[in-house]
Structure 1
Amino acid sequence: SLTDSPVTLKIQQNWVPKVSHYFDKEHYTYVGHQIIIQESIEHFGAVVWPGALALSQYLESNQEQFNLKDKKVLEIGAGTGLVSIVACILGAYVTATDLPEVLENLSYNISRNIQNTDMHKPEVRKLVWGESLNEDFPASTYHYDFLLATDVVYHQAALEPLLATMVYFCKPGTVLLWANKFRFSTDYEFLEKLCKIFNTTILAEFPESNVKLLKATVREN
């Protein structure tokens, strides 16, 4: 239910100040690791959006509630890879997915930040929402403990395929964590659709950034 009162948080300035700031790289610190993210201005998915910061911070601060160690985690719309990298640092087996044009930068950021560590190496894969899901991720083989999605609601045309993708991967036992900036009616429409299908709770709100973080699980009849 959406009646539980969510915690109100502020996105921490977890990135290093401008002194060591390169033109196209952002430095963040999560879970004691410095993470360097290369952004690219050509694609939506190539910039770190506020939902990614909110979810990264929340996962770092709530490791007992959401223990990712050795869990199977799928991120859809992984973008620059920040959330997937944080999930890796927290011990998860991560599959980071996005559109083909984003994968090169995504792979670069992930491999650069987890090389020379003993973390499980993440897999980077193409996933176009709503397309070829059963061929590429057959339900008999792929079962995820967590489905992570940040800043994925931005384009009206993508909402139905996005919802279909969430429904496809959310099996009994899967926890969906979705963080998004809420600005437009589309954002609230999507939330409404999500609430009709899943058991949904708002875990946290970041009012300064207009971000809400939600947890959703399958309704078991």
Structure 2
Amino acid sequence: MPKRRQGGSFQGSETLKDRIPAGHLVGMETVCDQDQEACLAREEVEEQEEDSEVEEEEEEEELFAEELETKEETKPLEKAAAWEPSVYSVLGKEQHYFVGHNINIYESLDSYGAIVWPAAVALCHFLDNNRKQINLQDKWVLEIGAGTGLLSIVACLLGAWVTATDIPDVLGNLRSNVYRNTRGHCRYTPQVAPLCWEQDLEQTYPRSTYHYDYVLAADVVYHHNFLDELLLTMRHFCQPGTTLIWANKVRFESDLRFTENFKRTFNTTLLTELPEDEVKIFMATSRE
């Protein structure tokens, strides 16, 4: 919240008045009165701005609560109760600025999928700054392992028709973040849906029906035991005509092994590398 500037008024000393001709004092008193009025007017405007900021924050909190309460009405394909973050007091909101918009992301320590990871931020920067190279306008985009939804939000703001997916446990927070930050700002309404890697993919997402222009993934490779399932899921969605963009921060030896398997599976290009963050962004297409 911006600090309020303190207004003041002119206060002349008796000694100063004694030195100024009486005719000039009238003019100075008029100027002092104008200064006081200007300061009061400025303070009033600043108080109104502060009140407006407080109201916006309160409206945002109310909207977040309402969306969590109504999540059952908008769940696609989901049967299990959606996870809701429970430790906002620890992490609270993380703020980002992409595509000319302030993006507020709620995080929690309850799950890996409830935290904004470095590769997601890096990929958001890349997409925002390379719109001619990767044009998402009017494109069908799928994000796998969407987590908090930051990347899906940016893709949506860039004009894409986005489906953000993750395991059912994190959909509550994902849905709230996505809807709150895109409502009224995007050409297309984003979709949020459950997706468990490699489980019944052809039944839930048949290739004949679900064809995307772009598949996005960021920091989906970390210390877990589902790397084979992740690669199979990438292969399922990366059909001929689809471009897969994967950003990853190298943390473990398993990251390097997955990268080698990724390169053997797809035709790959290294779009950019951020050595200071240990993040690489790859573009891949099907070999079929």
Scaled by the length of structure 2, the TM-score of the pair is 0.68
Q: Give the alignment partner of residue 187 of structure 1, picking from 245, 255, 259.
A: 255
The one-letter code sitting in structure 2 at the alignment partner of 1:144 is: Y
Find the counterpart in structure 2 of residue 124 from structure 1. Answer: 192
Find the counterpart in structure 1 of residue 44 from structure 2. Answer: none
Q: Contact (CA 8 Å) 2:156, 2:186: kept in 1 or not?
A: no
Higher helix share: 2
The one-letter code sitting in structure 2 at the alignment partner of 1:159 is: L
CA–CA distance in 2 between the matches of 1:210 and 1:128?
A: 27
Q: Contact (CA 8 Å) 2:222, 2:251: kept in 1 or not?
A: no
Q: Contact (CA 8 Å) 2:250, 2:256: kept in 1 or not?
A: yes
Q: How far apart are residue 60 of structure 1 and its match?
A: 0.3
CA–CA distance in 2 between the matches of 1:117 and 1:61?
A: 19
Q: Contact (CA 8 Å) 1:156, 1:186: kept in 2 or not?
A: no
The one-letter code sitting in structure 2 at the alignment partner of 1:94 is: V
Residues 18-65 of structure 1 show CA distances to partners (whole Å, capped at 9, x for unaligned) of xx9x84101110010110000111000100000100100000011001
CA–CA distance in 1 between the matches of 2:252 and 2:111?
A: 21
The one-letter code sitting in structure 2 at the alignment partner of 1:102 is: V
Q: RMSD over aligned Cα, in angstroms?
A: 1.3
Segments of 4+ in structure 1 off by > 4 A?
none
Q: Give the alignment partner of residue 113 of structure 1, picking from 181, 188, 191.
A: 181
Rg comparison, structure with higher value: 2
Residues 178-211 of structure 1 show CA distances to partners (whole Å, capped at 9, x for unaligned) of 0010121111100100111111111111111111
Aligned length: 200
The one-letter code sitting in structure 1 at the alignment partner of 2:271 is: L
Find the counterpart in structure 2 of residue 164 from structure 1. Answer: 232
Q: How far apart are residue 74 of structure 1 and its match?
A: 0.3
Mark the runs of 5 or more structure 2 residues left unpaired by the alignment: 1-56, 58-88
CA–CA distance in 2 between the matches of 1:170 and 1:154?
A: 21
DSSP 3-state at the match of 1:36 = strand
DSSP 3-state at the match of 1:131 = coil
Find the counterpart in structure 1 of residue 112 from structure 2. Answer: 44
Q: How far apart are residue 116 of structure 1 and its match?
A: 2.0
Higher strand share: 1
Scaled by the length of structure 1, the TM-score of the pair is 0.88
DSSP 3-state at the match of 1:161 = helix
CA–CA distance in 1 between the matches of 2:184 and 2:234?
A: 33
- Report the CA distance shift for 1:118/1:195 in structure 2 as closer, same or farther (over 3 A): closer
CA–CA distance in 1 between the matches of 2:236 and 2:102?
A: 34
Residues 86-112 of structure 1 show CA distances to partners (whole Å, capped at 9, x for unaligned) of 000000000000011110000000010
1:57 aligns to 2:147 (yes or no): no
Find the counterpart in structure 2 of residue 8 from structure 1. Answer: none
DSSP 3-state at the match of 2:226 = helix
| Equivalent residue runs for 1:73-92 within 5 Å | 73-92=141-160
1:71 aligns to 2:71 (yes or no): no
